[in-house]
Amino acid sequence: MRGTRGIFDERPSFGAGPPCRNGTGPSLLDDCRARRLSLGVEAAGGGRRHVQATGAGPMGAVDFEIFVDELATVSGQAILPFFRTALGVEDKSRGAVFDPVTAADRAAEQAMRALIRRTFPSHGVRGEEFPDEGIDADYVWVLDPIDGTKSFISGMPAWGTLIGLCRQGQPVYGMMHQPFIRERFTGDGQQARYRGPAGDRRLTVRHCGGLGEAVMMTTSPLLMEEDNRALYTQVEKRVRLPRYGGDCYAYCMLAAGHVDLVIETNLNDFDILPLTPIVQGAGGIVTNWEGGTDLTSGRVVASGDRRVHDEALSVLNRG
């Protein structure tokens, strides 16, 4: 959910520290294959549950992907019965910017949490709708059951379920799942893929020579504080085409090569950490407005071409 923050001041964050690997070194899935990485799979009642894959140890790359797919499937099964129905909407904002939550959000997160606890009891979980669990663990799942709840309650399909995995505080795998459209975008910082009605293919960002050629997206400038909105507007004046809305879909369209730049503020960690490995895996860049890797300010710039990124940062920092 975008538009209301404060989470970073209250809970440990996962965006700070060294950047996720991109372009050099093994990916998470490579670690599973080549280095026999165990993600701590334990059988109910104790003991190890050895799920073998070719060339892998206790949990292999194929098994990991199957598990994340299962998380996406159970969340989608919880959400879809509510979509485009007369469901109740609660406002979490307490008088601030409207921040809706529905029974679908809570049902989906509960379903994912239950599956993670059953399969990975040693892992932590950080989600939007329920308290943190074990977030000092080496592996922490970051969940946003419906990113784009305002679109969801409006009957628009520009929303998705975000599933991320952080290792020692750094995002190493992410998925965006849209169960209504049946699209899944995944990435591990080294590669990114799309699966859906259009087939199964690798995601790659596109080249763009500068802001004057760029398609830019943001959820809404109205969600920005006045000073941030003024800086954002200076970038918007320079791009070829600005577009509003999209939430998580904006980042996935950037990874797919349809959008060149995304600029946002007031993001919580569960809004952006699952998307970061997808953008980076497709060859894109994700930083804060100052160009650093610490995303805890909630001010994020994502782009598919370094030239666009640098030009946008230059404009944002002139003020």
**What is the pLDDT at residue 102?**
84
Confidence check: pLDDT of 73 > 90: yes
**What is the pLDDT at residue 52?**
31
Domain 7-15+22-202 homologous superfamily, CATH: Fructose-1,6-Bisphosphatase, subunit A, domain 1 (3.30.540.10)
* pLDDT digits 0-9 by tens, 98-139: 667 788 999 999 999 999 999 999 999 999 889 999 999 999
**What is the pLDDT at residue 89?**
79
The reported pTM is: 0.82
In the chain, residues under CATH classification 3.30.540.10 are: 7-15+22-202
Confidence check: pLDDT of 277 > 60: yes
**What is the pLDDT at residue 4?**
35
In the chain, residues under CATH classification 3.40.190.80 are: 211-316
Confidence check: pLDDT of 196 > 60: yes
Q: Taking residues 238-245, what's their average pLDDT? A: 97
CATH of domain 211-316: 3.40.190.80
Q: Higher-confidence residue: 24 or 225?
A: 225
Q: How many CA atoms lie within 13 A of 65 on its CB side?
A: 17
Q: Higher-confidence residue: 152 or 13?
A: 152
CB atoms within 10 A of CB 265: 23
Angle between helices 306-316 and 226-236 (to 10 degrees): 140
Write the DSSP string, 84-152.
TS---EEE-STTSS--EEEHHHHHHHHHHHHHHHHH-TTSEEEESSS--B-TTSSEEEEEEEEETHHHH
**What is the pLDDT at residue 271?**
95
Q: Any binding-site annotation on 183?
A: no
**What is the pLDDT at residue 128?**
85
**Reported confidence tier of residue 188, pLDDT bands at 50, 70, 90:** very high
Confidence check: pLDDT of 15 > 70: no
**How do beta strands 300-303 and 261-264 pair?**
antiparallel
Confidence check: pLDDT of 54 > 70: no
Q: Any binding-site annotation on 147?
A: yes
Q: Any binding-site annotation on 269?
A: no
H runs (alpha helix) in the chain? 7-10, 28-34, 61-79, 103-119, 149-153, 226-236, 248-255, 269-272, 276-281, 306-316
Q: Any binding-site annotation on 129?
A: no
**Reported confidence tier of residue 239, pLDDT bands at 50, 70, 90:** very high
